[in-house]
Amino acid sequence: MSNRMICLVLLAACGAAPAAPLAEPVGPPQPPPGPGVWATWSHAQKLAYMRSTVLPAEREIFARFEPVRFAKLDCDWCHGPGAAQGTYKMPNPELAKLVGGAEGFGELARVQPEVLKFMQSVVVPETAKLLGVPAFDMEKHVGFSCYQCHTRSDGH
């Protein structure tokens, strides 16, 4: 993969300019759901929690990495234009497709080490914690990972 392609993939992975107005948090932050609880919540419960807790937390997480770029992080950044209508799907096929396996992530580590480190050591574990799910375990290959948001380039 060329450097230009990797840069495009990484830029798209973190989102493009927001397409919809900035979503504002609704209500005070709530504690994360317990293990397995997220999967039992209704769409309305998840939406309320995403707006009151996840959105402000993710905005802060991403702003620590690039304050100007992510100052106005909204639902569309992760969920795409279907966020406002509730028609989005996760993983989001509109985000950059990632090349899986050691070779794909090795290439990202060589070309964009700061981005990969940020996503693996900050975004994945913090988002998993917010959702009350385990973060990805590299040895067992289970848990919340890049592929809860991004699809793979090979379709798996």
Mean pLDDT in the chain?
A: 83
Angle CA(34)–CA(131)–CA(26) in degrees, nearest 5? 105
| Of residues 148 and 6, more confidently modeled | 148
Burial class (CB in 10 A: 0-12, 13-18, 19+), 139: exposed
Confirm whether pTM is higher than 0.85.
no
The residue written with tokens 């950044």 in the block is 77
CA separation for the pair 139, 98 (Å, rounded): 20
Q: What one-character DSSP code corresponds to residue 121?
A: I
User: Does residue 11 have a pLDDT over 60?
Assistant: no
Q: Is the pLDDT of residue 21 over 90?
A: no
3-state secondary structure of 154: coil
Contact 133, 144 (CB under 8 A): yes
For position 127, what pLDDT does the model report? 96
- Per-residue pLDDT, 57: 95
Give pLDDT tens digits for 78-135. 998 888 888 888 999 988 889 988 899 899 899 999 999 999 999 999 999 999 999 9
DSSP letters spanning 5-43: HHHHHHHHHT--S-SSPPPPP-SS--PPPPTTTGGGS-H
Listed residue (97, 88, 102, 71) closest to 13, CA to CA: 97
In this prediction, residue 36 carries a pLDDT of 87
**Residue 13's pLDDT band (cuts 50, 70, 90):** very low
